[in-house]
Amino acid sequence: MQFPMSGGDEQNIIKQYQPLIRALIPYEQENRLLEGLNKFSTRLPSSIRRVVKEEVIRLTSLTDAPADNSAFAQFPVMKFKHFGIPMRLDKVGARILKDETSLYQNRYTVGVFESVMNSSTYQTQIKKEQYKKIVDAFAIETQSLNDIDFGDDIALSPNFPVSSLEFEKGRHCNVSSLAFDTMAVETKRPPNISTGDEIEFTFPDVMGLNLPDPEVKFTLTAVKFNKNTNKYDSHFTLSDPLSPQVREAIKKYIEATAYKQPLKRDLEVERAMQDLERDRILENSPWLPLFVHATNKEVTPVIALLTKANIRHSNAYQLLEKLSGKTVFARLCQELNKYQEAFVFHGIVKTKKGPVEVAMTHRQLMESGQLSAYIYLLSKSGKLSCTQCRLEDITQLDREKAFSIHDINPKQFGELGELNRIVYCRDVSDKLERLTLGEKCDFKAIPRSFLVSEERWRIGYVMEEDLDRRSETRYVVDKAASIKVGLLSSINARVCDLSAKGLQLSVSPGQHSISDEVRVTVPELRIKNEKYRVVNYDTTTGTLRLCLQDLTKLAKTGASVEAMVEENSAYYKMRDVAKLQRLTHRFIWELAIRHMPSLSVLCVLNRNLLDRLKTVYQGDNSDDIYPFSQAKNITPLHGFFADRDVTKPKSKMLERLFKGNSQSATIVHCVRNTDSKLIFIKNKDFMYGALRQQIAQKLQDQKVQLCVTDITAIRCQSHSTPLTRKRLAQLSKIDKTTYDKLLKMQEGYTHVISVTNLSTLQNDLVTANLRHIPPANESSAAHGAA
Domain boundaries along the sequence of the chain = 7-139, 155-257, 286-463, 474-575, 599-783
Q: Count CB neighbours of 668 within 10 A.
A: 22
How buried is 605 (Cβ within 10 angstroms: 0-12 exposed, 13-18 middle, 19+ buried)?
Answer: exposed
Local confidence band at 1 (pLDDT 50, 70, 90 cut-offs): very low
Whole-number Å distance between alpha carbons of 422 and 409: 22
Higher pLDDT pick, 273 / 512: 273
**Which strand (E) or helix (H) includes residue 347?**
strand 341-351
What tens digit of pLDDT does each residue of 596-609 get?
999 999 999 999 99
Closest CA to 714 of 640, 642, 756, 657: 657
What tens digit of pLDDT does each residue of 109-144 get?
898 898 888 888 888 888 888 889 999 999 999 999
Q: How high is the pLDDT of residue 565?
A: 62
State how far Cα 575 lies from the chain centre: 35
Distant-in-sequence, close-in-space partners of 328: CB < 8 Å, separation ≥ 6: 322, 344, 346, 359, 360, 361, 452
Are the folds of 155-257 and 474-575 the same? yes
How buried is 715 (Cβ within 10 angstroms: 0-12 exposed, 13-18 middle, 19+ buried)?
Answer: middle
What tens digit of pLDDT does each residue of 236-273 get?
999 988 888 999 999 999 999 999 999 999 999 999 99
The C-alpha R_g of the chain, in whole angstroms, comes to 36
Q: Which CATH code is given to the segment(s) 155-257?
A: 2.40.10.220
Does the pLDDT value for residue 422 go beyond 80? yes
Please say whether the beta carbons of 439 and 769 come within 8 A: yes
Q: How high is the pLDDT of residue 522?
A: 86
If you average pLDDT over residues 322-340, what whole number do you get?
94
- pTM across the whole model: 0.83
Q: Count CB neighbours of 774 within 10 A.
A: 16
State how far Cα 177 lies from the chain centre: 33
Q: Could you tell me which residues are beta bridge partners of residue 344?
A: 361, 387
Q: How high is the pLDDT of residue 572?
A: 58
Local confidence band at 146 (pLDDT 50, 70, 90 cut-offs): very high
Does the pLDDT value for residue 473 go beyond 80? no
What phi and psi values does residue 682 have, to the nearest 5 degrees?
A: -65, 145
**Which strand (E) or helix (H) includes residue 706?**
strand 704-715
Q: How high is the pLDDT of residue 500?
A: 72
Assigned fold of 474-575: Thrombin, subunit H (2.40.10)
Does the pLDDT value for residue 161 go beyond 80? yes
Percent of the chain whose pLDDT exceeds 90: 51
